[in-house]
Amino acid sequence: MKILFLTTEDSTFWSHRLALARATREAGAEVVIMARWGEYCARLQKEGFRVIPWKVSRRSLNPFRELYSFLQVLKVYRDERPDLAHHVALKPIAYGGTAARLCRKIPAVNSVTGLGPVFIHSRPLMRALRYFLTTALRWVFGASDCHVVFQNHDDCKLLVSQRVVPEEKTVVVPGFGVDTENFAPLPEPEGVPIVMLPARMLWEKGIREFVEAAAGLRQQGVNARMVLVGAPDPNNPGCIAEARLKEWQDSGVVEWWGQRANMSSILGQAQVVCLPSYREGVPKVLMEAAACSRPIVTTSAPGCSLVVRHGENGFLVPVKDSEALATAIRALLNDRSLRRKMGAAGRARALQEFSERRVARQMLGVYQALLNGSGSSPYRQEFLDFGSFGEPKNREKAVPQQAS
């Protein structure tokens, strides 16, 4: 059978959905990926997946450009006739879900990876976009053969309460999962401690609050390196200009390392990982930090609070509260044994709840349930063979402690 993934960015699919695509192929399906053509498309092709280019922009609001983007999807769905389509993020859900309904008999899984700036901001433009988006999603989710996958219960409850999606069609799967073998515990580095915020350089990631907290800690005489890791995202309306990032770095308050590869080793350089975001689906980088046994400071916002249990594997602080953020960071910097204890607890949670193999298995179950309930599917029970995508072969029996 054929499963088609529709997503905007090839890079995000590579970093967040590759394990699921491999698991789907391992279960016996042909995997087709439709995404904006970028450097990772060639990598996906080398993996053996067929990639269909999609001319789409996450930021565009031009109606003619958006109509063209939708018509591309509609043509591909009519030509390919996938047995199941998986739409990742809001724009692919709107366009792919509409195409699936118009083509008929294409069951669809719709992954809401976060509600984003349209639901965060209250500006008139965002309110108008929210109205049109929820109207479109209400129609898409009205299809009889679709499931809607949320990453956290808060987003699910919000759209159910607004009658955007019927509750019986919803499933909550916590994030994309993390490779717990690649993201493994490393000893704390010696020297001046590093507090790291790894994310796209967007205002809604809490970058301003992090810089304010860094300035406050510096005034209090706290000896720490406050580090931003990540690049600006020009396709997002909340993008922070590179000039502003360089200005902060030149002031000496924070360091900006830019985009980095091999995040497992980058996270290992930090004593504390921080993400004061306003709202998330489930932040993959926090799951990665937990898998690396790093204590976390994040907000009580939806998504973030799913990864961190306050006082267990990190601290939760209110959204947009730089003073509370600084206080939590200082508490961890002053107590190495607390960092070790919270890091070990985070590692245990990553193994038990957030491993990518576990998440892939859950998503395969969603596919199976949808196909079993779809009168158009000839595959039914015999479609998926979970095979080796169960528990890791070398499951850890005990949580390793960091070196003293």
The whole-number pLDDT of residue 113 equals 86
More confident residue, 177 or 205: 205
Contact by Cβ (8 Å): 109, 370: yes
**Token pair in block for residue 381:** 């029970």
Contact by Cβ (8 Å): 303, 235: no
Q: Does domain 2-177+355-382 have CATH number 3.30.70.360?
A: no
Lowest mean pLDDT among 51-55, 150-154, 199-203, 263-267: 150-154
At residue 69, does pLDDT exceed 80? yes
Q: In DSSP terms, which residues pair with 51 in a beta bridge?
A: 33
Contact by Cβ (8 Å): 360, 178: no
The whole-number pLDDT of residue 176 equals 83
pLDDT in tens, 349-392: 999 989 988 899 999 999 999 988 754 444 334 444 444 333 43
Q: How confident is the model at residue 175 (pLDDT cuts 50, 70, 90)?
A: confident
More confident residue, 171 or 375: 171
Residue from 78, 24, 74 nearest 50 by CA: 24
At residue 116, does pLDDT exceed 80? no
Q: How confident is the model at residue 121 (pLDDT cuts 50, 70, 90)?
A: low
Element (H, E) at 219: helix 207-219
Contact by Cβ (8 Å): 287, 347: no
The whole-number pLDDT of residue 386 equals 42
- CATH T-level topology, domain 194-353: Rossmann fold (3.40.50)
How far apart (Å, rounded) are the C-alpha atoms in residues 273 and 267?
Answer: 8
| pTM, two decimal places | 0.81
At how many degrees (to 10) do helices 63-80 and 90-103 cross?
50
The whole-number pLDDT of residue 399 equals 37
At residue 400, does pLDDT exceed 60? no
The whole-number pLDDT of residue 379 equals 38
Contact by Cβ (8 Å): 325, 318: no
The whole-number pLDDT of residue 261 equals 84
pLDDT in tens, 297-335: 999 998 899 899 999 999 999 999 999 999 999 999 999
Distances, alpha carbon 180 to alpha carbons 183, 273, 307, in Å: 5, 17, 15
Q: How confident is the model at residue 396 (pLDDT cuts 50, 70, 90)?
A: very low
Mean pLDDT, residues 177-181: 91
**Token pair in block for residue 362:** 């859950």
The answer to whether the 2-177+355-382 and 194-353 domains have the same CATH topology is yes
More confident residue, 243 or 388: 243
pLDDT over 90 percentage in the chain: 69
Which sequence spans correspond to the domains of the chain? Answer: 2-177+355-382, 194-353
Mean pLDDT, residues 39-54: 94
Mean pLDDT, residues 189-198: 96
Q: How confident is the model at residue 258 (pLDDT cuts 50, 70, 90)?
A: very high
How far apart (Å, rounded) are the C-alpha atoms in residues 58 and 234?
Answer: 10
**How high is the mean pLDDT of the chain?**
88
The whole-number pLDDT of residue 374 equals 55
